[in-house]
């Protein structure tokens, strides 16, 4: 099964998978062509209001705890913190934190 296309370049109308985007980031980074220090920074840069890409199928959020990006359907919004990924939710709960997750 082909990996799902997740981003569309609004200038060229090309669509990309997450693996293609990661490969492009690594190429740009190795050539010194991007200021983004991490892949997550790169995603933020290309998808912000001044960027050239937009999410195709589903909204993504940055986890307020670890900083990784994930699809909204894979995350929960915590009342005080914001969006959290499942990994961080499990971590925080296992360390006794009380979370107020929105439905």
- pLDDT attached to residue 23: 96
Which DSSP category does 71 fall into? E
Task: Report mean pLDDT in 10-residue bins for the chain, 103 residues.
Answer: 77 91 95 93 89 83 89 90 95 95 88
3-class secondary-structure state, position 23? helix
pTM of the predicted model as reported, rounded to 2 decimal places: 0.58
Pairing of strands 53-55, 5-9: antiparallel
Q: Kindly list the distances between the CA atom of residue 45 and the CA atoms of 25, 38, 89, 93, 94, in Å, as whole numbers in the listed order.
A: 11, 11, 26, 31, 33
Q: Which of 19, 64, 62, 72 is nearest to 41 (CA)?
A: 62
C-alpha Rg value of the chain to the nearest Å: 15
Angle at 20 between CA 8 and CA 66, to 5 degrees: 90
- pLDDT attached to residue 61: 85
- pLDDT attached to residue 6: 84
């Amino acid at each position: 099964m082909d990996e799902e296309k997740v981003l569309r370049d609004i200038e060229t109308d090309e669509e990309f998978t997450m693996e293609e985007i990661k490969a492009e980031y690594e190429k740009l980074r190795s050539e010194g062509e991007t200021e983004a220090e991490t892949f997550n920074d790169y995603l933020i840069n290309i998808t912000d209001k001044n960027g050239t890409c937009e999410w195709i199928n589903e909204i993504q959020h940055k986890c307020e705890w670890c900083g990784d990006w994930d699809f909204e359907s894979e995350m929960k919004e915590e009342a005080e913190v914001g969006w959290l990924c499942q990994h961080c939710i499990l971590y925080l709960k296992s360390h006794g934190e009380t979370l107020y997750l929105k439905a």
